[in-house]
Amino acid sequence: QTKLISTLRLLIPRLRLLQKKDTASSVVQRRELSALLEEGRDASARIRVENVIATDIAVEVMEMVELYCELLLARANVLDQIAFGEKGARARTRAREEAGARDAVEEYMDTALDEAALSVMYAWSRFPHDVRELTMLRTQLAERYGKEFLLLAQENKADIRVPERLVKGLRIQPPAPELVELYLREIAKAYGVAWPKEEWDAEKAKREAEGILKSLDIDDDHDDHDNNRGGDELLPPSTPSRSRPSITEMRRASEADELSKATPPRTIEPGRSPVSVAPPGPRSDNPSPRVKLPGSTPEDTVGPRARRSSAGIPEVDELTRRFAQLRR
């Protein structure tokens, strides 16, 4: 029992590793096949694609054998208990009987375990890789089922049959031409290669023709629409009219106008304030009012005091103006 469990625990990771290696190899081969198809070397691609098909089938077979090994590992205790008990002895004796005397309905030990053991024994001689742990597992299963069961399993002549999917995967035969063609098409599609050239060119010409016909139909629809609107009369050419602005555009335009009105001028004359204040009107106590700007010198301001000359005597024009104001 310990040897069986140890062998299964070594075999399952080995099968997974082989699957990863074959999958990586298949990807590299597919890339090389796409280059051959692009170069127009179809004959070489058809021969080399058979290796890709065989690799994919081998990966599928190893997946199935891995599942059966996991089942045997999970039920190893049950298998040993049945195999080395009374039921196992009857199963080994039954395998020695002739094929006509066997009851096809009766199971050997357990239906699932019988199918797993049968599949492993059948796949051993046809397995795509030489795996030492698989040989050890076959020997250990033969100790539990008997050599006669092993011989029947290798020829698939036992009452329980090997699954047809596994039998087809382990069958050594060249792939069908339809399968080769399908693989090449899928590889060309996956790598964006125009293959086969004739069908690709025909499909391209068909798409172009459909596009031209579609554009012609659109033009005819426009012409019919214009004829229905105009009839036989000749209408003078009309100038294109501007579309009426929406409410949102009108609101934005009014806000822009208000902002332009409230915005101060960009250019201000030197010495002039951007704020204009209306001067006060003349009154009896201030007949000639003036506005005094902040920061102006006393010489620039005009107040109730008259300008004086450099000698301190008022000028003639200033005196005349003051007499005229007094007469009023």
| Phi, psi angle pair for 79, to nearest 5° | -65, -45
In this predicted structure, what is the pLDDT of residue 293?
54
For residues 43-58, average pLDDT: 95
In this predicted structure, what is the pLDDT of residue 2?
84
**Mean pLDDT over each residue of the chain, to the nearest integer:** 77
Amino acid type, 275 = V
Amino acid type, 23 = T
Q: Which residues pair with 227 in a beta bridge?
A: none
Residue 200 lies in a domain: no
Q: Which domain range does residue 41 map to?
A: 2-190
Q: Judge whether 202 and 196 are in contact, CB under 8 Å.
A: no
Q: What is the pLDDT of residues 58-117, one digit of tens each?
A: 999 999 999 999 999 999 998 888 877 766 566 666 666 644 444 443 567 788 999 999
In this predicted structure, what is the pLDDT of residue 105?
38
* 3-state secondary structure at position 314: strand
Task: Give me the sign of the Cα torsion angle 81, 84, 89, 94.
Answer: positive
Residue 232 lies in a domain: no
Q: What is the pLDDT of residues 126-171, one digit of tens each?
A: 998 989 999 999 999 999 888 888 899 999 988 888 999 999 999 9
In this predicted structure, what is the pLDDT of residue 220?
58
Residue 308 lies in a domain: no
Q: Judge whether 91 and 81 are in contact, CB under 8 Å.
A: no
The stretches of 75-156 forming alpha helices (DSSP H) are: 76-83, 86-94, 111-124, 132-145, 147-154
In this predicted structure, what is the pLDDT of residue 325?
77
Residue 225 confidence (pLDDT) above 50: yes
Q: What is the pLDDT of residues 268-321, one digit of tens each?
A: 555 555 555 566 666 666 666 665 555 555 544 444 444 444 445 556 677 777
Residue 44 lies in a domain: yes
Residue 183 lies in a domain: yes
Give the range with max mean pLDDT: 182-196, 219-233, 236-250, 262-276.
182-196
DSSP state for residue 146 in the 8-state scheme:
-
Residue 328 lies in a domain: no
Please give the structure tokens belonging to residue 261: 């009105």
Residue 149 lies in a domain: yes
* 3-state secondary structure at position 135: helix
CB neighbour list of residue 129: distance below 8 Å, 6 or more residues apart = 18, 58, 62
Give the separation between CA 79 and CA 73, rounded to whole angstroms: 9
Q: Judge whether 33 and 47 are in contact, CB under 8 Å.
A: no
Residue 123 lies in a domain: yes
Percent of the residues in the chain that have a pLDDT greater than 70, as a whole number: 59
This prediction has a pTM of 0.59
Domain with residue 135: its CATH number is 1.20.1260.60
More confident of the two residues 120 and 81? 120
Per the structure, the count of domains in the chain is: 1
Q: DSSP letter string over 192-240?
A: T---SHHHHHHHHHHHHHHHHHHHHHHHHHHHHHHHHHHTTSPPPP-PP
Give the range with max mean pLDDT: 35-49, 238-252, 285-299.
35-49
